Structure 1
Amino acid sequence: MRRRAVPAVLTCAVLLLAAGCSSGDGDGDGPAGWNERATPGRTATASPSSPSSESAERAAPAKGSAEVVRTVATGLDSPWGLAPLPDGGLLVASRDEGTITRVDPATGKKTELGEVPGVSPAGEGGLLGIALSPSYAADRTVYAYFTSASDNRIVRMLHDADRPAGEQLGAPDTVFKGIPKGFVHNGGRIAFGPDKLLYVGTGESGDTGLSQDRESLGGKILRLTPEGDPAPGNPFPDSPVYSYGHRNVQGLAWDGSRHLFAAEFGQDTWDELNAITPGGNYGWPEAEGRSDDGSYRDPVAQWGTDEASPSGIAYAEGSVWMAGLKGERLWRVPLKGTEAAAEPQSFLTGEYGRLRTVVAAGAGRLWLVTSNTDGRGGPAKGDDRILELKVS
């Protein structure tokens, strides 16, 4: 297995004072010298199953499998968001270059669509999540979440594949702005749900007080119309906020029964996989992981930050699959309804380094994106890459 050392590339003291970072912060592990936890090696734990409205749903098997079938593409620079196209191609966003590239999964050929104007990469910010319009086949619209000079925002652009490489993105139309930005904790995952509404994972940008402030967009999951308005039926009147009390959400996925799950970075103790309830308070900064306070929602499963630091998640074969950055592994959480059916199971530990994004590819397959060129990993030859996995 190829273990990658994480180089010390930033100054610990400045980041700790400015953002309260730790070994589990933001994009997972800070470089060596950040506030490493004194108690390494916490084990992954799932919330015990109990009777619920989902009790009639079949539980996923306790044990599954994950096998890398092939390497789809190599040589990607700071890849972050991934969006499969209807024609089978894959769009991938480069956080630091601010570009979107099409990858041909059959050949690995890369074609740059263009650069997204206004991206201001720094720290964990830059061009992050991308998503296709629910009507992409008709409107050819790509949505992108990025850090600008003043905030995090969401834009949409037309994708004209008939134009020359580098010139295929139309002018961006800003549909939502004002999400707090920081050197860390910018959130960034966007996804259209089964209801064809846009869900957005945000971070508290290092300002922990934003998470419990329902007037702030930081530390939230937002639910928007494709035009960027608060979605009808949101839990708080005239507000885009769908859930709050989050630290840094970078994973969003739905199961076959339309339940929303989200992955969240902890600080010093616990990373989380949460089942999202409209209007739910997930506790940060008052609670990290499970809590005795009934006003906060407990996670479905939790991990020590050395073992996870989760970014993207996907649902396939009855389980949530979660990409770990500092943990350098892929986690499987078998589900029964919105509860864990068994203890989490890990795969690929240390084999491909930091793992950023995982997307369901259908027929028991996943696309998995590595993240070793993000300034916190130790790139190997060919990094970063997209892998195809067969899972069960």
Structure 2
Amino acid sequence: MPTPPAQPSPPLTSSAETSTPPSSPSTSASGTGSGSAGAATPTGTPRVVSSDLEAPWSVVFRDGTALVSERDSARILELAEDGSSRAIGTVPGVAGSGEGGLLGLAVDEQGRLYVYSTGAEENRIQRFDITGERGALALGDAETILDGIPSASYHDGGRLAFGPDGMLYATVGDAGQASQAQDVESLAGKILRMTPDGSAPNDNPFDGSMVYSYGHRNPQGLAWAKDGTMFATEFGQNTWDELNIITPGANYGWPTVEGIQEAEGFTNPVQQWTPDTASPSGMTHVDGTLFIANLRGSVLRTVPVNDPTTFTDHYAGQYGRIRDVTLAPNGELWFLTNNTDGRGTPSPEDDRILGVDLE
């Protein structure tokens, strides 16, 4: 498998994920700041779906039941229809600090739960059977499908999602070692693509490897448009956060370039924002719109798929740091707040899940 030459690493600074949110509404660093007609948009005042959560990171649905990961407690929560929560189990061996811990979740067609978490010395992806009925679900034993993913107290990536091809995708940060993002032999700074059992598909761009794209700093959002176009969000360093269209085998530049640079051999993002107005984490696609959860920007951002260089901001500064967003079975858009930062410091806003109608 070919390995590009190592690139020089810029000095590391504090992660955009753990910085203090701004007091003013977010503004654009690139793009027009206006959306496109015909795409889904949130309408009205969000309702509180569930509250009193502790650093929630990901929310998924299994047979209509919401499951939520809590980063610091390592608990998987089941939400009842009234919004109350109960733990169905604790993921064993989670030893994360800072931005590490219990991170992304995904559910396959068989109802099995996939979990990305930080162990004592590595990040890993595990699969769990879930037993019992709604209101009394229980987490089964862990089956590790991929381990040895580089970890650190920051830049752990952590998002899991099944693509329209039935493959499991995972975002992996550079774990503070920026040069690893350019090394296709390393799992750090990559988007990975694997079978549900954790093996490399034959049609991946690098033979025998799960690496699907590389040159990423800390990607945390994945979504697919109806035509199969794959999008990913990425935390930048001090200059640009990114929205990328992902193609197999492409190099997205980190740490050599950040943002739109027109540099030979690297793929430009389709849109960029300054970290203080963005810090994009989870993302979902609904009816022609990408919905992006932003931490420092404290905003739910919409980007129309048919014009991904533009955007519209919603609820700027109203709910604090927004970590994940997804479409609920009832047709509401759910987004969860994560107002305990990566250092374990809570801010006054409650960590909760909010639901809003779409039009």
Output the TM-score relative to the length of structure 1: 0.82
CA distance in 2, matches of 1:205, 1:67: 39
Structure-2 residue corresponding to 1:325 = 295
Once the 2 structures are TM-superposed, how far is the Cα of residue 328 of structure 1 from its aligned partner?
Answer: 0.3
| Residue pairs, 1:235-314, within 5 angstroms | 235-314=205-284
Letter in 2 for 1:79: P
CA distance in 1, matches of 2:40, 2:194: 36
Candidates 148, 161, 169, aligned match of 1:191? 161
Letter in 1 for 2:12: G
Structure-2 residue corresponding to 1:378 = 347
Deviations 1:50-83, CA, capped at 9 Å, x for gaps: xxxxxxxxx7548944434411000001100111
| Residue pairs, 1:124-139, within 5 angstroms | 124-136=99-111
CA distance in 1, matches of 2:159, 2:193: 12
Letter in 1 for 2:96: P
Structure-2 residue corresponding to 1:219 = 189
> Are the structure 2 counterparts of residues 373 and 176 from structure 1 closer, same or farther at C-alpha, using a change threshold of 3 Å?
same
Once the 2 structures are TM-superposed, how far is the Cα of residue 164 of structure 1 from its aligned partner?
Answer: 9.0
Candidates 341, 348, 362, aligned match of 2:315? 348
Are 2:51 and 1:74 aligned?
yes
Structure-2 residue corresponding to 1:15 = none
Structure-2 residue corresponding to 1:55 = none
Letter in 2 for 1:113: I
> Are the structure 2 counterparts of residues 362 and 260 from structure 1 closer, same or farther at C-alpha, using a change threshold of 3 Å?
farther
CA distance in 2, matches of 1:156, 1:194: 20
Letter in 2 for 1:207: Q
Once the 2 structures are TM-superposed, how far is the Cα of residue 112 of structure 1 from its aligned partner?
Answer: 1.0
CA distance in 2, matches of 1:171, 1:84: 20
CA distance in 2, matches of 1:195, 1:92: 25
Runs of 5+ in structure 1 lacking a partner? 1-18, 48-58
Structure-1 residue corresponding to 2:7 = none
CA distance in 2, matches of 1:68, 1:352: 12
Aligned residue-pair number: 343
| SS, match of residue 170 in structure 1 | strand
> Are the structure 2 counterparts of residues 43 and 72 from structure 1 closer, same or farther at C-alpha, using a change threshold of 3 Å?
same
Once the 2 structures are TM-superposed, how far is the Cα of residue 312 of structure 1 from its aligned partner?
Answer: 0.3
| SS, match of residue 75 in structure 1 | coil
Deviations 1:271-293, CA, capped at 9 Å, x for gaps: 01111001111110111110121
Structure-2 residue corresponding to 1:153 = 124
Identify the structure with the greater strand proportion.
Answer: 2
Structure-2 residue corresponding to 1:109 = 84
Q: Equivalent pairs: percent with the same residue?
A: 44
Contact 1:63 1:345 in 2 (8 A): no
| SS, match of residue 45 in structure 1 | coil
Contact 2:65 2:134 in 1 (8 A): no
CA distance in 2, matches of 1:186, 1:266: 13
> Are the structure 2 counterparts of residues 42 and 70 from structure 1 closer, same or farther at C-alpha, using a change threshold of 3 Å?
closer
CA distance in 1, matches of 2:135, 2:329: 31
Structure-2 residue corresponding to 1:90 = 66
Deviations 1:352-380, CA, capped at 9 Å, x for gaps: 00000001236763110100124355133
Candidates 20, 26, 29, aligned match of 2:12? 20
Once the 2 structures are TM-superposed, how far is the Cα of residue 248 of structure 1 from its aligned partner?
Answer: 0.4
Structure-2 residue corresponding to 1:14 = none
Contact 1:99 1:112 in 2 (8 A): yes
> Are the structure 2 counterparts of residues 134 and 354 from structure 1 closer, same or farther at C-alpha, using a change threshold of 3 Å?
same
CA distance in 2, matches of 1:64, 1:354: 20
Single out whichever of 144-153 and 311-320 deviates more from structure 2.
311-320
CA distance in 2, matches of 1:108, 1:363: 14
Structure-2 residue corresponding to 1:11 = none
CA distance in 1, matches of 2:114, 2:60: 10
Single out whichever of 261-270 and 370-379 deviates more from structure 2.
370-379
Contact 1:353 1:377 in 2 (8 A): no
CA distance in 2, matches of 1:62, 1:113: 37
Once the 2 structures are TM-superposed, how far is the Cα of residue 150 of structure 1 from its aligned partner?
Answer: 1.0
CA distance in 2, matches of 1:164, 1:327: 35
CA distance in 2, matches of 1:182, 1:350: 29
Deviations 1:219-275, CA, capped at 9 Å, x for gaps: 000000011001221011111000000000110111111111100000001101111
| SS, match of residue 292 in structure 1 | coil
Structure-1 residue corresponding to 2:328 = 361
CA distance in 1, matches of 2:41, 2:140: 43
CA distance in 2, matches of 1:202, 1:67: 35
Once the 2 structures are TM-superposed, how far is the Cα of residue 46 of structure 1 from its aligned partner?
Answer: 3.4
Once the 2 structures are TM-superposed, how far is the Cα of residue 309 of structure 1 from its aligned partner?
Answer: 0.4
Once the 2 structures are TM-superposed, how far is the Cα of residue 173 of structure 1 from its aligned partner?
Answer: 0.6
Are 2:19 and 1:30 aligned?
yes
Letter in 2 for 1:133: D
Deviations 1:134-160, CA, capped at 9 Å, x for gaps: 222xxxx11100000010000011111
| SS, match of residue 211 in structure 1 | helix
| SS, match of residue 124 in structure 2 | strand
Output the TM-score relative to the length of structure 2: 0.89
Runs of 5+ in structure 2 lacking a partner? 1-10
